[in-house]
Structure 1
Amino acid sequence: MAVFVALGAFLMTLAGGWTAQRVTDRRHLVLGLAGGLMLGVVGLDLLPEALHAAGREVFGVPAALLLFVAGFLMAHLVERLLAARQAAHGGEERDHHRAPEVGLTAAAAMVGHSAMDGLAIGAAFQVGGGMGAAVALAVIAHDFADGFNTFTLTSLYGNARRKALAMLFADAVAPIAGAAASAFLTIPEPVLGGYLGLFGGALLYLAAAEILPEAHHEHPARSTLLCTVAGAAFIWLVVGISG
Structure 2
Amino acid sequence: MAVLVALGAFLMTLAGGWTAHRVTDRRHLVLGLAGGLMLGVVGLELLPESLEAAGTEIHGVPAALLHFVAGFLLAHLVERLLAHRQAAHGAEESDGRTPEVGLTAAAAMVGHSAMDGVAIGAAFQVGGGMGAAVAVAVIAHDFADGFNTYTLTRVYGNARRRALAMLCADAAAPVAGAASTLFFTIPEPLLGGYLGLFGGALLYLAAAEILPEAHHQHPARSTLLCTVTGVLFIWLVVGAAH
Quick check: TM above 0.5?
A: yes
Q: Distance in 2 between matches of 1:237 and 1:116?
A: 21
User: Aligned to 2:90, what secondary structure does the other structure show?
Assistant: coil
User: Aligned to 1:37, what secondary structure does the other structure show?
Assistant: helix
Q: Which structure 1 segments of 5+ residues have no match?
A: 125-134
Q: Distance in 2 between matches of 1:239 and 1:104?
A: 33
Q: Which structure 2 segments of 5+ residues have no match?
A: 154-162
Q: Distance in 2 between matches of 1:209 and 1:161?
A: 26
Q: How far is the alpha carbon of 1:112 from its aligned partner?
A: 2.1
Q: Distance in 2 between matches of 1:106 and 1:172?
A: 14
Instruction: Provide the alpha-carbon RMSD of the alignment.
Output: 3.0
TM-score (norm 2): 0.77
Residues 222 and 43 of structure 1, relative CA distance in 2, 3 Å threshold: same
Q: Is the contact made by 1:78 and 1:102 (CA closer than 8 Å) also made in structure 2? A: no
Q: How far is the alpha carbon of 1:163 from its aligned partner?
A: 2.4
Q: How far is the alpha carbon of 1:141 from its aligned partner?
A: 5.7
Aligned to 2:5: 9
Q: Distance in 1 between matches of 2:54 and 2:213?
A: 33
Q: How far is the alpha carbon of 1:11 from its aligned partner?
A: 4.0
| Residues 87-166 of structure 1: pairs in structure 2 closer than 5 A | 87-90=87-90, 101=104, 104-105=107-108, 108-119=111-122, 121=124, 135-136=127-128, 138-140=130-132, 142-156=134-148, 158-159=152-153, 160-166=163-169
Aligned to 1:49: 49
Q: How far is the alpha carbon of 1:208 from its aligned partner?
A: 0.7
Among the aligned pairs, what percent are the same residue?
A: 53
Q: Distance in 2 between matches of 1:101 and 1:119?
A: 27
Aligned to 1:196: 195
Q: How far is the alpha carbon of 1:20 from its aligned partner?
A: 4.6
Aligned to 2:60: 60
Q: Is the contact made by 1:103 and 1:153 (CA closer than 8 Å) also made in structure 2? A: no
Aligned to 2:30: 30
1:134-165 Cα distance to aligned partner (Å, 9 max, x none) = x3454246424312312312423624354234
Does 1:239 pair with 2:238? Answer: yes
Number of residue-to-residue matches in the alignment: 221
Q: Distance in 2 between matches of 1:59 and 1:146?
A: 32
Q: Is the contact made by 1:7 and 1:176 (CA closer than 8 Å) also made in structure 2? A: yes
Q: Is the contact made by 2:117 and 2:173 (CA closer than 8 Å) also made in structure 1? A: no
The residue identity in structure 2 corresponding to 1:210 is E
Q: Distance in 2 between matches of 1:195 and 1:138?
A: 14
Residues 138 and 58 of structure 1, relative CA distance in 2, 3 Å threshold: closer
Aligned to 2:174: 171
- Of residues 18-27 and 80-89 in structure 1, the stretch that sits farther from structure 2 once superposed is 18-27
Aligned to 2:81: 81
Q: Distance in 2 between matches of 1:112 and 1:118?
A: 10
Q: Distance in 2 between matches of 1:17 and 1:88?
A: 29
Q: Distance in 2 between matches of 1:148 and 1:17?
A: 9
1:196-235 Cα distance to aligned partner (Å, 9 max, x none) = 1112112211211121111111211111111111112222
Q: Distance in 1 between matches of 2:88 and 2:129?
A: 47
Does 1:222 pair with 2:214? Answer: no
Q: Distance in 1 between matches of 2:52 and 2:105?
A: 29
1:163-219 Cα distance to aligned partner (Å, 9 max, x none) = 23432222134333423x1xxx23221111111111211221121112111111121
Q: Distance in 2 between matches of 1:230 and 1:22?
A: 25
Residues 229 and 54 of structure 1, relative CA distance in 2, 3 Å threshold: same
